Amino acid sequence: MKKQIVLVFILTALLEACAGTVQNAAPATSPASSALDGRTYEVLLEIPDSPATKDTLRFSGGRFESTACTALGFPEWADYLARASGDQVAFQATTQHPSGTTMEWSGHIRGDAVDGTANRTMNGKTDVIRFKGLLSH
């Protein structure tokens, strides 16, 4: 019985250590989201009551980055989900700033074009930010 408890303790500690390593690691390959991996899109964010802002959306190893968000202190990478249907790919990702602000990204890609929305929730208020752009070559 003592050996089983010790083994469970060791396995639990190893799993926790590996989970911490994976969260801080570079993006890894994920077959479910590989539809967009390696792509970069230059987009224009239409933020309510603000001037339009340039952004770069990157997809790599099942992870998503908005460089505009990264510059504001959001984590560099967040998981994304993608679903192909016919000639388009839909994607979703959520990024969260350490202060609690969240960005819920939802977009569609057809050919080289991307468009969608990013719902920004900050201080209890949600703004819908529209974006559109093209694949970066």
pTM of the model: 0.75
Print the domain residue range for 106.
Answer: 28-135
Report pLDDT digits (tens) over 15-73: 343 333 334 444 443 444 577 999 999 999 999 899 999 999 999 999 999 999 999 99
The confidence score (pLDDT) of residue 33 equals 53
Whether 13 is covered by a domain: the verdict is no
Q: For residue 72, what is the domain's CATH number?
A: 2.40.160
Whether 11 is covered by a domain: the verdict is no
Whether 2 is covered by a domain: the verdict is no
Whether 76 shows a pLDDT value over 60: the answer reads: yes
Whether 37 is covered by a domain: the verdict is yes
Residue with tokens 């992870």: 63
The confidence score (pLDDT) of residue 35 equals 77
Q: Answer for the pair 60, 37: CB distance below 8 angstroms, yes or no.
A: yes
Contact partners, residue 35, CB within 8 Å, separation at least 6: 82, 83, 84, 89
Whether 128 is covered by a domain: the verdict is yes
Angle at Cα 50 formed by Cα 49 and Cα 52, nearest 5°?
130
Structural domains in the chain (count)? 1
Whether 8 is covered by a domain: the verdict is no
Whether 4 is covered by a domain: the verdict is no
